[in-house]
């Protein structure tokens, strides 16, 4: 089983969790959970001024802690399109299954309901603007770019499922390496080692990305897990429930 993850590392004065939540909401709107590791609180940090941000998935598909959260926070998240079926049609499908209808009959009926609902859906969600394919992809590089202003930042990671390495170096808002945004997500023979190789070259020391990530984000209570909408209400970290991921998979 592979793993996909993105890490944003930046140097300089650590940003507040409120500021990070604001930037994440602006540049990576699909992200919901994150952890912020400040070098001063990390055992043997790679550099005294290098801090890291990691995004997390909730393996249960939601947060029990937010069951009673105020509705006002829902406006801060992008609208998600779903399928809704009339209760009468769902009841008919359940009745068919209860009577011992064949699996094929139930599947066919479910598909008929879904197909009709899909055809009735608008071409795009109301209130959204037209976007090119590149604009709808991850914008985690823009978060790294913003955090580099007045300093330096890195976008690191790899996608084990699609066999690509992730690496970018920004300095004072400008992309230093690679030559273009399109090359950040590179298809390399040794895609897992590629980010570590490039980062080692930039830092002037040999580093292993996986080991650094484990050092900055251990399966422990610190650094705390934060929700973008309510960053000042830390969530108890549970390694069995929350797993490191990408800004697009939340």
Cβ of 206: how many Cβ atoms within 10 Å? 10
Q: According to the model, what pLDDT value does residue 99 have?
A: 72
DSSP class of 128: P
Torsions phi, psi of 159, nearest 5?
-115, 100
Q: According to the model, what pLDDT value does residue 157 have?
A: 96
3-state secondary structure of 142: helix
DSSP assignments along 14-71, one per residue? PPPHHHHHHHHHHH-TT--EEEEE-GGGSSS-SSTTEEEEEEEEETTSS-GGGTT--G
Q: According to the model, what pLDDT value does residue 142 have?
A: 95
Within the chain, residue ranges assigned H as helices are 17-27, 87-98, 103-120, 133-136, 140-147, 193-203, 209-216
How many whole angstroms separate alpha carbon 150 and alpha carbon 152?
7
- Of 177, 167, 178, 169, give the one whose Cα is nearest residue 148: 169
Cα separations in angstroms, 77 against 32, 72, 95, 228, 233: 9, 10, 37, 9, 17
Give every residue of the chain whose pLDDT is below 50, as ranges.
Answer: 1, 64, 66-83, 124-137, 249-250
Give 181's strand partners: none
Q: According to the model, what pLDDT value does residue 78 have?
A: 44
Q: According to the model, what pLDDT value does residue 166 have?
A: 96
**242 and 58 in contact (C-beta within 8 Å)?**
yes
DSSP class of 181: G
Q: According to the model, what pLDDT value does residue 115 have?
A: 58
Q: According to the model, what pLDDT value does residue 27 have?
A: 94
Q: According to the model, what pLDDT value does residue 228 have?
A: 95
Angle, CA of 90, 93 and 97, to the nearest 5°: 140
Torsions phi, psi of 199, nearest 5?
-65, -40
Radius of gyration of the chain (CA): 21
pTM: 0.70
How many angstroms separate the most distant Cα atoms in the chain? Answer: 70
Q: According to the model, what pLDDT value does residue 107 have?
A: 58
3-class SS shares of the chain: helix, strand, coil, % to 5: 35, 20, 45
């Amino acid at each position: 089983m592979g793993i996909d993850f993105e890490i944003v590392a930046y140097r300089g004065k650590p940003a507040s969790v409120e500021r990070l939540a604001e930037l994440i909401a602006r540049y990576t709107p699909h992200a919901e959970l994150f952890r912020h590791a400040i070098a001063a609180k990390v055992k043997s940090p790679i550099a005294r001024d290098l801090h890291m941000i990691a995004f997390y998935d909730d393996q249960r598909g939601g947060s029990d802690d937010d069951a009673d959260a105020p509705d006002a926070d829902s406006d801060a998240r992008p609208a998600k399109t779903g399928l809704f079926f009339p209760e009468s049609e769902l009841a008919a499908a359940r009745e068919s299954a209860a009577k011992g209808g064949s699996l094929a009959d139930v599947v066919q009926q479910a598909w008929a309901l879904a197909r009709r609902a899909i055809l009735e859906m608008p071409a795009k969600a109301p209130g959204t603007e037209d976007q090119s394919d590149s604009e709808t992809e991850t914008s985690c590089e823009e978060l790294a770019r913003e955090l580099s202003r007045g300093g330096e930042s890195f976008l690191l990671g790899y996608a084990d499922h699609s066999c690509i390495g992730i690496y970018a170096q920004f300095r004072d808002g400008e992309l230093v390496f690679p030559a273009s945004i399109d090359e950040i997500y590179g298809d390399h023979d040794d895609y897992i080692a590629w980010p570590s190789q490039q980062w080692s070259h930039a830092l002037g020391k040999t580093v292993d990305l996986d080991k650094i990530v484990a050092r900055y984000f251990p399966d422990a209570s610190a650094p705390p897990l934060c929700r973008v909408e309510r960053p000042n209400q830390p969530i108890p970290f549970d390694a069995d429930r929350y797993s490191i991921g990408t800004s697009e998979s939340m």
